[in-house]
Structures are given as C-alpha cells and as structure tokens.
Amino acid sequence: MANKIEVLSEKCTGCSLCVKSCPFGAIVLVDRPEHPKKQKLAVIDVAKCNYCGACVDACKRFGAILMLKEEKQKAVDFALYKDVWVYAEQRHGEVSPVAYELLNEGRKLADKLKTHLCAVLLGDKIENQAQDLILHGADKVYVIDNPLLKEFCDDPYAETLAHLIREEKPEIVIMGATNIGRSFASRVAAKIDTGLTADCTALDVDVSTRNLQQTRPAFGGNIMATILTPRHRPQMATVRHKVFKRATRDTSRKGEIVKKNYDFSKLNPGGLDFMNRAKFLQFVADTTAKVNLSEADIIVSGGRGLGKPEGFKLIEELAETIGGAVGASRASVDSGWIPYSHQVGQTGRTVAPKIYIACGISGQIQHLVGMGSSEVIIAINRDPEAPMMKIATFALEGDLYEIIPWIIKEIKKSRGEIEFVK
C-alpha cells in the first residue's frame, strides 16, 4: 500500500491552519464558489508532500485531512537481535584509533544492556589485529579476511557487513564518522533497511526499551537532538574520532575470534562484477596538511577576537612556545585569516587535547562540540559572560593582545630563555 493523503471537502472550512503547519509548502487554499458559505478548500500537492502528518495534527479539530501511511516494513522481531557491535575500521592493515574509542563506549552500552560487545574486522590478512580488540574490551571479534577487502571499497565492504549483520543480528552497530565510515555506514544502513544517526556526540541506552539514545547537534547546531530508532534493528550510529576516550588495554581479558568466509560471487546478485565496479588503484597521502590537530596534546586556537589576520602570528608564537598546534574558530577561517584545515568544531575537526587554549573565541555550540572533551580548557576573552569562559577550567579575562605576550614572556623567563631586567 502506498502513502495516501486526502482532504475531505465536506469537512474543510478553509481555515488555513494546515497551510501554516506544512513545512514543505505543499498545501494551498483554492476558491470554492459553489460552497454555500464560499469557504475555501485546502488542496495538497502530493509531489511536495512528505507525509509528515503536521497538517493532520493541525486539522484535528475539523478532522478534514485523512492520511494512510505505507506499511512497508514487517514488524521486526526485536528478540532476535542481540549484542553491541563496533566496526573496527582499519587502514592499510592497522586498526584506526577511533575503533578503540568506540570499544570504550560500546563496552558501557553492552554492560548496561547485559549483552556482549563484539568487534568486526574486515580486511586482508588482518586477523593478527583481532586479539588487541579483545584486550581493549571486545568479547568477540568477527574477522573476515579476503583479498577483495584489502583496501576499502564501498561495494565489497558494504555487501560483506550487510550480510554479516543479516546473519548475526546485532541490536546496535557503531562506526567511526571517518571519511570511510561516513560512506560505508550509510550504504550498510540502506541495504539492511534501518536508520543511521551520523556524527553523534553522545550515546546511551534506555534499558527498558533497549533503544539507543543517539545525541547529535541539529538545526545548525542550535540544539542537541536525541534520536531513537524505535521500530528497526539494528540501531546504527557513527561517532567522530576523539569524541570518546580510548579504551584501556587489559592484557588479562579473554575473548573469542570468529572467522567467517563468504563466497563473494554470491553476496550480490550482480556477482563479482558488482563487487568490482570501483577498483582501488593507489593510495596518495595528503602532504598539504601541516597540522594534525586531532592528535595534538596542546592546541592554541584563535577566533574572531583576534580582529585581524596578523593575530594568528601571536597564536602561532604561543603554540610554538608550548609545543602546540594551531586551531581556529569558523569565524576566523571564514574571514580568510587561516586555512580550513585548522578549523575546530561541528564543521571542522573534533579534538580532545590535554590543553585547549581558546583565544578570542566566544564558545558557540558549534565550536564547543568540537573541543568540549579537552582535559583542560583555558579561555582568554575580554567578555566574562562568553560561553567559553563559563566552561573553561581557567578563564583569563582581558585583552588577548596583553595576556598572550605576557604568558609567552613568563614561560620564556621561567626557562631562562629571556632575562628579566629590572
């Protein structure tokens, strides 16, 4: 049955509540000269309608809009789904750091749900990495070793993971929101007909419903939305590198390694031709990026408060003095003062250094989601009410052009690099 929506002309009063409620501009009022009271009639353009039901709610009083929703999916038997899975992304045979962070969070979710934590490792000759995943919290590691999985390619990877999920039925699958994860997770979710919440900044579970609570910024980062997948399984989410802390290695941990072998010519009706639609030719490393912000222990970031591009010279000087990398707010990147590769935040990098020094950055939510997990936050701002000053471990109120040179001078003095002249 397809989606259907209709206006009951005998009940419609032409009040326009439905027109105002429709976020897609799919409803207009048309004249009805034949109507005894000349009331207008609502008409829905089904090409624009996405069947959200807002108009049905708005018209509750008159009950003039009737909607029948497509019953596409048979009810999923949740009892068949068990375990929390972490996709252990690997590049060139090395498991990515984000996988160890997801194991940390996955462990907490699995413990709350009193279920197992499993890792999934796809690649070629990567079985030797499985034991380390167990030492970092996995109870079980599914390993699929095949030359076709040597380097990441969308089709073979997505077919393989989708097949494994159909076979083993995990209730939760979490993956890194890396370049690979973003492309991969969405394909897998579409193949197994479930939802995916991308770029989560927090995960939790409601133990009574076993629903995964997937929190992420929404509406341009103005609110944090907690998204549920209440009618489908598995529940899938991606999380950026550095959002969670890395799992600690416990050499006493024991676990199971389950090797799977699939006939790749049968995973998709298109056979191996389908799997080989895109071929991996060569890996070319990006040598243009000077900074690896995500891995830096100390970051000194500059914002619009610098007032001019030259302000970054001061930021660089402080970063150099204390062995840190240079970060930036989007406002300073958008002003053309520093390249995008330095941007921290929702549309930039997520970082979690030991020390984050925010200079002339107000601390809007889109910036905070990218650096809020830093261990120590030092804010330098002349506005004590700025949000960054409120969350900072140390808030230094004043002009950054006075405070930063003073800090540099004091550090150099303490190292004996400059002499103090009375």
Ligand X SMILES: Cc1cc2nc3c(=O)[nH]c(=O)nc-3n(C[C@H](O)[C@H](O)[C@H](O)COP(=O)(O)OP(=O)(O)OC[C@H]3O[C@@H](n4cnc5c(N)ncnc54)[C@H](O)[C@@H]3O)c2cc1C
In terms of CB distance, is 156 or 345 closer to ligand X? 345
**Residue 14 contacts residue 32 (beta carbons within 8 Å):** yes
Determine if 346 is a binding residue for ligand X (CB under 6 A). yes
Q: Which of 194, 197, 329, 374 is the binder for ligand X (CB under 6 A)?
A: 329
- Contact with ligand X (CB under 6 A) among 347, 372, 395, 409: 347
Cβ pair 344, 371 in contact under 8 A: yes
- Please, which residue, 169 or 241, has the CB nearer to ligand X? 241
Measure the CA–CA gap between 117 and 114, rounded to whole angstroms: 10
Q: Total residues contacting ligand X (rule CB under 6 A)?
A: 30
Decide: is 123 part of the binding site for ligand X (CB under 6 A). no
Q: Does 197 bind ligand X (CB under 6 A)?
A: no
How many whole angstroms from its chain centre is CA 232?
A: 20
- Per-residue tokens: 154: 């969308």
Q: Rounded to whole angstroms, how far apart are CA atoms 330 and 341? A: 11
Residues ≥6 apart with Cβ < 8 Å to 214 = 197, 200, 203, 226, 227, 228, 229, 235, 237
- Considering only residues 16 to 45 of the shown chain, the ones binding ligand X according to CB under 6 A are none
Report the C-alpha dihedral over residues 174, 329, 343, 288, rounded to 10 degrees: -170
Q: Which residue lies nearer to ligand X by CB, 294 or 366? A: 366
In the bound state, the residue with its beta carbon closest to ligand X is 345
The 279-318 site mask, x for binding ligand X (CB under 6 A), equals ------------------------xxx-------------
399 contributes a contact to ligand X by CB under 6 A: yes
Round to the nearest angstrom and report the end-to-end CA distance of the chain: 87
Structure tokens at 217: 């910024």
Q: How far is the CB of 283 from ligand X (least distance, A)?
A: 27
Is the CB of 28 or the CB of 395 nearer to ligand X?
395
User: CA separation (Å) from 291 to 133, 282, 374, 393?
Assistant: 29, 23, 18, 25
- What string marks each residue from 212 to 241 as x (binds ligand X by CB under 6 A) or -? --------xx--------------------
List of residues contacting ligand X (CB under 6 A): 220-221, 303-305, 329-332, 343-348, 360-362, 364, 366-367, 370, 380-383, 386, 399-401
